Amino acid sequence: MQNTFSSIAVLIDAENVSHTFLEDISEKIALYGAVSVRRIYADWTSEKMKGWRALLQEFAIQPIQQFSNTVGKNSTDSALIIDAMDLLYLQHIDCFCIVSSDSDFTRLASRVREQGKHVIGIGEKKTPSSFVNACNEFLHIEPHSAKRQEERKAAGKTNKTEVLLDRAVDQLADSSGWVMLSQLMQYIRQVKPDFDLRELGARKPLDYFTSRKDKYRVQKEREDAPSAVFISKMR
């Protein structure tokens, strides 16, 4: 697991990031702790925002309207920056996640870091190095790999909760391939608050993993963590 934060503010520049990345973005952020603020900035009257509008309710993101007063100019920058500064001084946010590939947020990232807050940037490979280097960490997002597309197709035939669990084990496993069950479930609930194992016919997480001996291994009472349970994928 990554270092976790008790309060994360996620600020998304919707005019600079495709809505097709939202699932990946949500899973990446969940690795870092609890999200307290979810805001997304755009001119929501624009037809270009149709894809984002369809996802706002599902992912519980608050849309912030910013009209485009100049053709060809990203209208969201100033609104996002003002909100970030308000949050910096008025609320107990210990981590800011700025989702954009725009170098205009370089100074914002630097300023937030000067106040001792952790800054995570998320954007495409094309993001200018000035913004990347201004963050404590920068996570690159790219069009879905062949593996992720296969997972999405499988989700149409298999329960989506099962697909999420499988992907989470891959993401959280340490160098030896194991992840602590309690850490795994904490992450899952960050990504999917309505997570319910009954969809998979199990009452408890351990029951599910022990019943899937074809896919997972379960290890108990390790010397370094005698009261913990660990999960890994079958090799």
Cα(215)–Cα(112) distance, integer angstroms: 44
Alpha-carbon distance values, 58 to 61, 216, 226 (Å) = 8, 30, 39
**Residue range 121-178, pLDDT digits in tens:** 999 989 999 999 999 999 998 765 445 555 555 555 457 788 888 888 988 888 888 9
Q: Where are the beta strands (DSSP E) in the chain?
A: 5-13, 33-42, 62-65, 95-99, 118-123, 137-140, 178-180, 216-222, 225-233
Q: In the numeric block, which tokens belong to residue 51?
A: 């894809």
CATH architecture of 5-140: 3-Layer(aba) Sandwich (3.40)
Per the CB < 8 A criterion, the answer to whether 168 and 191 are in contact is yes
Where exactly are the structural domains of the chain? Answer: 5-140, 146-233
For the structural domain made of 146-233, what CATH number should be given?
Answer: 3.30.420.610
**Residue range 57-92, pLDDT digits in tens:** 888 899 998 876 555 455 678 889 999 999 998 778
